[in-house]
Amino acid sequence: MFEFDITEDQLTETLIAAGIAVGGIVLAWFVALLSRRIIHFFTHATETELDDVIANAVRGSLIAFLAVQGVYIALLTLSYLEDHQDTIRRGWVAIMLLLIVFAARRLVLDILDWFAHRPGTEGLPGLDARSLPFLKRILNVVVIAIGFLLVLDAVGISISPLLAGLGIGGLAVALALQPLLTNVFASSYVITDASVAVGDYIEVDGGPVGIVEDIGWRAARIRTFDNNIVLVPNSSLAESIITNYDSADTRADARVDCGIAYEEDLVHVETIVLEEMNDLMENLEVVDPARTPLFRYAEFGDSNINFFVKMRAKTWSDSFLLKHEMMKRIHTRLTAEGIVINYPARRLIMEPDDVEGFDRLVAGRTPAS
């Protein structure tokens, strides 16, 4: 059996301290229940949503502050803990710093998210909404690292030797992790330059073609048309020639190349093909109506006179369906009109001297020696 030697005054102090602590916790709970209404009361009259973002970001830390403050005041009232007042104060400061750090982290991330989704900020480098996950990861590391150093300093641990050690050790780590750090910095270049963002359809020179699903610390995840995931190191992505089909406009052209025999009427062929394309534009929803079909003869080929037809789809994925329908329409109409699309062929024109003895070969006789 344990026996506690506690006086009546100490018992009274303890009960009072417990009441103060419980009061702080109850106050925090009460504020948590009413905080949304209070925030709405003070912010609903303003036109901007920034004040709502700020209030909601610090709301959680404020509630925790009230609860912790109640416990801290309760501990200060206990006379038998006077010898530990310095430890209690350091602990309180450390907890307050943690709350401030978490509030700052939430505030920075929420403001960044709000600002990136505002109208008129789409063209600012690094603030594409699709690039936010990577930026948030960087900010998380920076804010938490600063908060960790502040907490260490608050509890009496000198951070100067730690910073010096990190400087020397950081150099060694940087040399050992040079390939990884190269990819990390390359990813920051890609994000801040806004040349490639999550959701873009890109083509890497000599590499994959697909949609960017994520830009991580080391590599970018690209989903190809065959639904496969290809990981491209960020350093390679930053140094490669990239065609970004979504950088300025989500619309994409569908092009069909074809050819007709030299004997055909070129004006008639152009007329009927454009008729089919105009009808397709009116009856297929994926076609962009702002762009009229384009027909052009391209070259005199070996077997045909070649031409191409271009139409514009609303999105890159729609361009495949549009090209599919264009090919069907062109082939069906040319076939119905009796217009010939030659197979690859060559016409041989021979002089009379070149065919001497040809009749005997056909008849199965060999020439006289």
Q: Which tens digits make up the pLDDT trace of 40-99?
A: 665 566 666 666 667 777 777 777 887 888 887 888 777 777 777 777 788 787 888 888
Whether the pLDDT of residue 369 is over 50: the answer is no
Residue with tokens 């730690």: 162
pLDDT at 270: 95
Average pLDDT estimate for 199-209: 83
> Which band of pLDDT confidence, cut at 50, 70 and 90, is reported for residue 1?
very low
Q: Do the Cβ atoms of 269 and 340 come closer than 8 Å?
A: no
pLDDT at site 211: 86
pLDDT in tens, 266-300: 999 999 999 999 999 999 999 998 889 999 999 99
> How far, CA to CA in Å, does 299 sit from each of 102, 153, 356, 365?
67, 76, 36, 44
Helix axes 178-193, 132-154, angle to 10 degrees: 120
Q: Which residue has the higher pLDDT, 149 or 174?
A: 149
Identify the residue with better confidence: 195 or 98.
98
Q: What is the pLDDT of residue 96?
A: 81
Torsion angles phi and psi, residue 24, rounded to 5: -65, -40
Residue matched to tokens 């073609």: 209
**pLDDT band at residue 2 using 50, 70 and 90 as cut-offs:** very low
Task: Tell me what the mean pLDDT of segment 199-206 comes to.
Answer: 83
**Is residue 226 classed as helix, strand or coil in its secondary structure?**
coil
What are the Cα distances from residue 118, in Å, to 49, 114, 366? Answer: 10, 6, 88
pLDDT score of 171 more than 70: no
Please report the pLDDT score of residue 332 as a whole number: 94
Question: Highest mean pLDDT range out of 84-93, 159-168, 261-270, 348-357?
Answer: 261-270
pLDDT in the model for residue 109: 76
Mean pLDDT (whole number) for 216-221: 79
State how far Cα 233 lies from the chain centre: 16
pLDDT tens digits, 289-298: 888 999 999 9
Please check whether residue 329 is in contact with residue 276, taking contact to mean a CB–CB distance below 8 angstroms.
yes
For residue 140, what are the CA distances in angstroms to 109, 146, 177, 189? 8, 10, 21, 18
What is the C-alpha to C-alpha distance for residues 212 and 229, in angstroms, rounded to an integer? 10
CA-CA distance, 154 to 94, in Å (whole number)?
6
Q: For residue 123, what pLDDT is reported? A: 47
Mean of pLDDT values over 187-197: 67
Question: What is the reported pLDDT for 177?
Answer: 53
- What pLDDT shows up at residue 193? 62
- pLDDT tens-place string over residues 299-324: 998 889 999 999 999 888 888 999 99
How much is the mean pLDDT over the chain? 76
- Tokens 């990577």 sit on residue: 134
101 — pLDDT class (breaks 50, 70, 90): confident
* Residue pLDDT, tens place only, 318-346: 889 999 999 999 999 999 999 988 887 66
d(CA 186, CA 202): 17
pLDDT at position 216: 75
pLDDT band, very low/low/confident/very high, at 143 (cuts 50, 70, 90): confident
Can you name the residues that pair with 229 across neighbouring β-strands?
A: 223
Using alpha carbons, list the distances in angstroms from residue 64 to 238, 297, 299: 44, 73, 75
pLDDT bucket at 149, cuts 50 / 70 / 90: confident
pLDDT at position 181, please?
60
